[in-house]
Amino acid sequence: MATFKDFRNELKPNWCPGCGDFAVQASIQRAAANVGLEPHNFAVVSGIGCSGRISGYINAYGLHGIHGRALPIAQGLKMANRDLTVLAAGGDGDGFAIGTNHTIHAMRRNIDITYVVMDNNIYGLTKGQTSPRSSFGTKSKSTPLGSIEPALHPLELAISTGAGFVAQAFSGDINQLTKIIEAGMKHKGFAFINVFSPCVTFNKVNTYDWYKENLVNLEEDASYDPTNRSMAMQKVMENEGLVTGIIYQNTERESYENLVPNFKQEPIVKQDIMIGKEDFTKLLKEFE
């Protein structure tokens, strides 16, 4: 059985010292080992930005996609090979700006993959511009007088769009983060996990200390029921999205691939897709 070390490779991340993405990487590797995966049956697809580098730092199948397009690639990969455990990763710019449409439709489609967003409320790779997750009034290189746009709320978006697994974690709590990613991998359907991953270089507001003072851990609330969608939305809104834990989970909904008519359990990559001359000729006649 694979261990945490089996998911490590010789590439050293070039993130800034203290970046929250280090904890996300370690948590993904630990979660993969804890759920019993092997490197050859695990795939990580990423987009652009600091977070996009993560697919190259994990010993598994990896694909560094283009900006905002990690999710369609990951969904196609899962549909082609159902035996793979597929995880998509990106940042708040990748998932909530250019890739927002893919995020929304992946949530409602419910293909069995896990999507981890490293949310630092800023554009880090391009040196500190306001992102869709930056708060109203944020001063940055792109908004020196303060942003006049409100921040997008990913948890509210996910719950209202119909995601069957919605969770949020914090890079400063690697144990909870690992458990949440494990749960997302085990969930039969689309699992959305937003991770507060502080940018120590360009975001001097949403720091580790700031999150420690403001986050509410729903796992500590004995009355909270993550299967209650209305309660989930209410709790998120009451705390302005600053909650951690499994926010909402629906285990009764079937995954997309299980609902596709005549979609075989055997992965497409293992099927014989060669067509005989007789069948090919018959097919051509249909277009005459």
Q: Edge to edge, what strands does the sheet with 165-170 contain?
A: 61-64, 42-46, 85-91, 114-119, 191-196, 165-170, 243-249, 216-217
Give the integer Cα–Cα distance in Å for 114 and 44: 10
Give me 159's structure tokens: 């719950």
Q: Is the CATH code 3.30.720.200 the one for domain 4-261?
A: no
Looking up tokens 């699992």 gives 191
What confidence score (pLDDT) does residue 266 get? 87
Give the integer Cα–Cα distance in Å for 268 and 81: 6
Give the range among 12-16, 187-191, 260-264 with minimum mean pLDDT.
260-264
pLDDT, tens digit, for every residue of 187-210? 999 999 999 999 999 999 999 999
pLDDT, tens digit, for every residue of 23-52? 999 999 999 999 999 999 999 999 988 999
Give the integer Cα–Cα distance in Å for 131 and 234: 25
In the chain, domain spans: 4-261
- Select from 133, 272, 117, 127 the least CA-distant residue to 181: 117
Give the gyration radius of the chain's Cα atoms: 20
What confidence score (pLDDT) does residue 67 get? 86
- Select from 149, 159, 188, 139 the least CA-distant residue to 247: 159
What is the pLDDT confidence band of residue 269, given thresholds at 50, 70 and 90?
A: confident
